[in-house]
Amino acid sequence: MKKLTELYPGASSDVLIRGIKINSKEVENGDLFVCTMGVTADRHDFIDDAIKHGASAVVVSKDIKKVSIPVIKVPDTNRELPYLCQKFYDYPDQKMKMIGVTGTDGKTSVSTIIQTLIGSDICGYIGTNGRSCAKFSGDNPNTTPDAQNLYLYLDEFVRFGCKYVSMEASSEAFFRGRLQAMQFDISAFTNVTSEHLNIHGSFENYLSSKLMLFCQTKKDGYCILNKDDLYYEQFKEASNGKILTYGLGDDNDLVIENFEICPRKTNITFRYKDKSYNIVSPLMGDFNVYNLACAILCTISLGIPIDVILERIKDIKISGRLELLNTNTPYFVMVDYAHTPNGIARLLNFVHTLNINRSIVVIGQAGERDSIKRPKVGNTVVNNASYAIFTYEDPRSEDPKKICDDIISELKVDHDNYEIVIDRREAIQKAIDMAKENDMVLILGKGNETYEKLKDEVIYFNDIEEAYHAVAKRQIRESE
C-alpha cells in the first residue's frame, strides 16, 4: 500500500491506495482506478462504477465531471499505467533477473524449460500456462498480463524469494505498451512466422513488436537468437545486449550437432565451447530440440554451470505441450497448444514419424483474431492429418460456424477427410469414438488452458479433462 502523494507528490490528498485496477467491476475499497483506453472501451466512461465499488482515487487523461474522489490527470493513461504499477510495487522487476522469451511458436516451452533449469524455488514463470514458482501457482488473464497484474505477480515472486523470472513476452504486450517500463537481462527468440495480423495490421508491424524485446535488453545483458530462423538478421540488428546464437551451424555458440527423435524422448548432441554433450531429453519433436537449445543457452548466460543445467533436463515437463495422455487404450490421445500453420505442420510431421496408423485432429481458430490465417490452418491440417474435425475455440462474439467455414473456405473440392462439429466437447467425443487401434487423436489449440470465451461469458473448459471424460464414456458404452 502507498499514499497517493507517494505516487503523485503533487496530489491534493494522501489517501491510502491498496491496489491498482483498470476494470471498474474488479475495483475494491481503496483501489486506484486508471482510465486506460481499451480496444473497444474507454474506461473514462466507468468512473462512476469504479467509485461505487470503492475506488479511492482515479487517474485520467481527459477532462471529466467533478467527482467525490481525488483525480490525477496525465497525458496518456495507457503509457502511464506500467510506470505507475512499477512504482506502486517498488520496482520488483529490478530486484530479479528478467528473462523474456518471444516468438510465434515455442514461447511457453522455452520459458518453462528455463524455469526448470534454473529451479522453481528461485525462478518464477509467467505465460500462457499461468504464473508459478515452487511456492504457488495461479492463472493469467493473458499470455503477458496487463501491467496492473504483471507487476502484482512480480511482487509476489519477490516476496516468495525468487531471484529470476522467466516470462513469455508476446507481440501484443509490446503493441499495447504493457512492457514499456521494463528492461530485460536476457531476451530470447524462437522463430517468427505470420501471426496476430488482426492486431498488428501487417507482418512488418508484428515483427517490429517482437523486436522491441531486444531493444529493451540491458547493454550488459544477453540476446539469445535462433540463427537458423529466416529473420535472424533483423533480431541481430535490434539487439542491445551481447548476442549468443544457437542452431545447426558450427558458427553458433551452442551447436545442435545431431539428434534422434524417439517415441517418448529425444537423444541430442549439443556442442558448447568445443565440448560435446550427449543428453536424453524428455521432450519430443525437432522443434523441441531448438526450444531446449534456446533455454540452455539462456541459462548458461546467467552463469549457471552447464553440468547443473544438464542434470535438470530430465525434470522438464510442459503441461499441455505434446502431452500424451495416460488413457490405457489401444489408441493414443495427445493434447497440444499448436494453433499456427507452422506449429501445426511441424507437430503433425513429427507425429507421423511415430508408429501410428491414422492421425485424427480436433482444432478450431479463435474468434476476433487473425482471420487471414484460418484457411491456411484448414489446408495445413487436411494436408498433413488423416482426418480433421473443426470446432469452436474461443469464438468470443463471432459465430463459431462462420469461423469453421472460414477454415475450410480454401480447401480443394476433392478433400473429404474433414467435418465440422461446432461444439468442442462433442468434437472431442467424436474423435475419441472414431479412433481405432494405433490411431492418434490430437486435440490442438488450447493446451492445458481452463477456459473457453463464448460471446459475453467465459466458461470452464479443459481439453485434457474433456479427453479423459470422452475416453471414459466410450469405455462405458463398449462395456455394456
Which domains occur in the chain, in start order? 2-77 (3.40.1390.10), 92-315 (3.40.1190.10), 323-479 (3.90.190.20)
* Residue 140 confidence (pLDDT): 75
Give the mean pLDDT of 188-202.
Answer: 72
Q: Give exposure, 380-398, as e/b (b: 16+ Cβ within 10 Å).
A: bbbebbbbbbbbbbbbbeb
- What 3-state DSSP class applies to 103? coil
Residue 272 cell numbers, joined: 558448447
First to last CA, the chain: 61
473 and 435 Cβ atoms separated by less than 8 Å? no
pLDDT tier at 201, thresholds 50, 70, 90: low
* pLDDT for position 172: 85
**pLDDT at position 340, please?**
87
Question: What is the pLDDT at residue 40?
Answer: 77
Percentage of residues in the chain having pLDDT higher than 90: 79
Q: Three cell numbers at 367?
A: 474468434
Quick one: pLDDT band at residue 2, thresholds 50, 70, 90? very high
Dump the DSSP string for 228-255. TSTTHHHHHHH--SEEEEEESSTTSSEE
pLDDT digits (tens, 9 = 90+) for 299-356: 999 999 999 999 999 999 998 888 899 999 999 999 998 888 888 998 999 899 888 9
* pLDDT at 49 exceeding the cut of 60: yes
Q: How confident is the model at residue 366 (pLDDT cuts 50, 70, 90)?
A: very high
- Among 120, 116, 118, 167, smallest CA distance to 314 is for 116
- Taking 70 as the threshold, does the pLDDT of residue 199 lie above it? no
Q: Which residues pair with 42 in a beta bridge?
A: 37
Whole-model pTM: value is 0.86
How does the average pLDDT of the chain come out, rounded? 93
Distance separating alpha carbons of residues 140 and 138, to the nearest angstrom: 7
Residue 385 has pLDDT above 80, yes or no: yes
What percent of the chain is predicted at pLDDT more than 70?
98
Dihedral of alpha carbons 223, 157, 141, 139, sign: positive
pLDDT higher at 263 or 459: 459
- 162 pLDDT higher than 80: yes
Residue 198: pLDDT band with limits 50, 70, 90 = low
pLDDT at 411: 93
Kindly indicate the confidence band of residue 200, based on its pLDDT and cuts at 50, 70 and 90.
Answer: low
Phi and psi dihedrals of 230, rounded to 5?
A: -60, -30
Q: Which residues contact 31 (CB under 8 A, 6 or more apart)?
A: 17, 18, 19, 20, 21, 50, 53, 54, 55, 56
Using an 8 Å Cβ cutoff, are 334 and 322 in contact? yes
What are the C-alpha distances in Å from 457 to residues 351, 400, 423, 465?
Answer: 35, 15, 16, 20
Q: Which residues pair with 266 in a beta bridge?
A: 261, 281
pLDDT of 159 strictly over 90: yes
pLDDT band at 476, cuts 50/70/90? very high
Top-confidence residue, 284 or 271: 271
**Given the DSSP bridges, would you call strands 387-390 and 440-444 parallel, antiparallel or unpaired?**
unpaired
Helix (H) or strand (E) holding 37: none
For cell 533477473, the residue is: 97
Q: What is the pLDDT of residue 14?
A: 93
Chain Cα centroid distance, residue 44: 30
Nearest of 364, 348, 359, 407 to residue 386 by alpha carbon: 359
List phi, psi (to 5°) of 278. -95, 120
Cell numbers at 169, concatenated: 513476452
Residues 6 or more apart whose CB falls under 8 angstroms from that of 38 comprise 22
Order of strands across the sheet that contains 242-247: 136-138, 130-133, 123-127, 164-168, 97-102, 184-189, 217-226, 242-247, 254-261, 266-272, 275-281
Per the document, the length of the chain is 480
Torsion angles phi and psi, residue 344, rounded to 5:
-65, -45
Contact yes or no for 47/71 (Cβ under 8 A): no
Indicate whether 196 pLDDT > 70.
no
Collapsing DSSP to helix, strand or coil, 102 comes out as strand
- What per-residue confidence (pLDDT) applies to 250? 96
Helix axes of 286-301 and 341-351: crossing angle, nearest 10 degrees = 110
Q: Residue 261's pLDDT is what?
A: 85
> Three-class SS of residue 189?
strand
Residue 136's pLDDT is 84
* φ/ψ of residue 62, rounded to 5: -130, 160
pLDDT for 195 beyond 60: no
Quick one: pLDDT at residue 67? Answer: 95
Contact 448, 464 (CB under 8 A): yes
pLDDT at 232 exceeding the cut of 90: yes
Average of per-residue pLDDT across 221-233: 96
